[in-house]
């Protein structure tokens, strides 16, 4: 989260030239803020925040807000527990910074650089100072992308959320949850005064993180699944192995204990049945044990199926 703020500060550095010394606004659609955690020493998960907003002023002051209620862990009850116990119903977290923009004032369209920044995260009454290296790219005259250059780690103790982590362990009956959290951020900023001339935010984001083909896009989507599912044959973890999933019968993988509902569903996993199930697992097979709420974008579903076919069907 600290990165987010720092990233924002950097973006303001890019607008340091007299012509560009104006306010830049964060584009929430093109931006992404994520963090990871590890449970039971071996189970890794990636979570994110879907509600982020803010600006970088012409004076170099960055002010970013993170809507803590927008935390997305892909499990509803876990979202609720994060909001109540870890974030202490704080509502928002603030990231602020002030820095010298001189080193980035000459950055031209298409150029990139890395800069060191400092920032402060304010969360539920705790203020934590951070510093990190950020990668900055000038996408156009009116758009800037700022991202973490390396993974950044935040101590849960410093952030004042250790008690909340303890409560999560108790509720989920877990032996441990990591107390150092890796954070990554990709932030897109648009120049306010030239919005009419600016490239659409979604197009800018796509250009910045474009993918080549459905399989490659599906690999990225599969990150949401990888905490529970592996692609290796017979390697079951929280969920069953997805090796050879296309053409397999639902609930029949040897060595994994499926719900009765899935075992008796009679579903054969084809691209069509997978499309229905991935969009709404609970609706497709009521009563099954899968906690994932489903993929909301049709393109994500099609791409992840293409990836599964390419990686597991030979």
pLDDT (tens digit per residue) in 30-69: 899 999 999 988 889 999 999 999 988 877 788 899 999 9
Backbone φ, ψ for residue 38 (5° rounding):
-125, 130
| 205-241 pLDDT, tens digit each | 444 333 334 888 888 888 888 878 888 888 898 889 9
Which one is predicted more confidently, 59 or 85?
A: 85
| 155-211 pLDDT, tens digit each | 899 999 999 999 999 999 999 999 989 988 898 888 875 443 444 444 444 443 333
Structural domains of the chain in order of their starting residue, each with its CATH number: 2-210 (2.40.128.110), 218-312 (1.10.760.10)
Q: Please report the pLDDT score of residue 69 as a whole number.
A: 95
Question: Which residue has 């044959």 as its token pair?
Answer: 233
| Mean pLDDT, range 3-22, rounded to an integer | 46
Distance CA 238, CA 269 (A): 20
Which one is predicted more confidently, 130 or 202?
A: 130
| Mean pLDDT, range 69-79, rounded to an integer | 92
| 96-110 pLDDT, tens digit each | 876 555 556 567 888
Give the number of other CB atoms < 10 A from CB of residue 185: 28
| Mean pLDDT, range 268-289, rounded to an integer | 91
| 16-26 pLDDT, tens digit each | 444 345 688 99
Q: What percentage of the chain reaches a pLDDT higher than 70?
A: 83
| Mean pLDDT, range 10-16, rounded to an integer | 45
Q: Please report the pLDDT score of residue 98 as a whole number.
A: 67
Distance CA 154, CA 175 (A): 21
Tokens of 82: 């994060």
């Amino acid at each position: 989260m600290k990165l987010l703020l720092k990233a924002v500060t950097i973006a303001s550095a890019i607008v340091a030239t007299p012509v560009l010394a104006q306010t830049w606004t964060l584009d929430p659609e093109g931006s992404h803020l994520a963090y990871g955690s590890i449970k039971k020493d071996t189970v890794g998960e990636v979570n994110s925040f879907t509600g982020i907003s803010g600006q970088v002023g012409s004076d170099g002051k960055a002010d970013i807000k993170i809507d803590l209620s927008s935390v997305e862990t892909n499990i509803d009850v876990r979202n609720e527990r994060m909001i109540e116990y870890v974030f202490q119903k704080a509502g928002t977290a603030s990231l602020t910074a002030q820095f010298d923009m001189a080193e980035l004032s000459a950055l031209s369209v298409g150029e990139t650089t890395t800069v060191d920044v400092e920032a402060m995260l304010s969360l539920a009454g705790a203020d934590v100072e951070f510093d990190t290296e950020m990668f900055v790219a000038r996408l156009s005259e009116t758009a800037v992308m700022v991202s973490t250059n390396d993974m950044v780690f935040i101590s849960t103790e410093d952030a004042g959320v250790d008690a909340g982590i303890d409560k999560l362990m108790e509720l989920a009956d877990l032996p441990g949850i990591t107390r150092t959290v890796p954070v990554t951020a990709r932030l897109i900023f648009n120049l306010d005064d030239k919005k009419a001339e600016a490239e659409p935010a979604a197009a800018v984001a796509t250009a910045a993180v474009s993918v080549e083909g459905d399989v490659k896009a599906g690999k990225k989507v599969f990150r949401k699944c990888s905490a529970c599912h592996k692609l290796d044959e017979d390697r079951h973890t929280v969920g069953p192995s997805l090796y050879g999933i296309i053409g397999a019968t639902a609930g029949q993988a040897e060595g994994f204990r499926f719900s009765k509902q899935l075992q008796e569903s009679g579903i054969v996993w084809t691209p069509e049945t997978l499309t229905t199930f991935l969009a709404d697992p609970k609706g497709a097979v009521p009563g099954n044990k899968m906690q994932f709420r489903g993929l909301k974008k049709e393109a994500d579903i099609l791409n992840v199926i293409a990836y599964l076919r390419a990686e597991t069907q030979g």
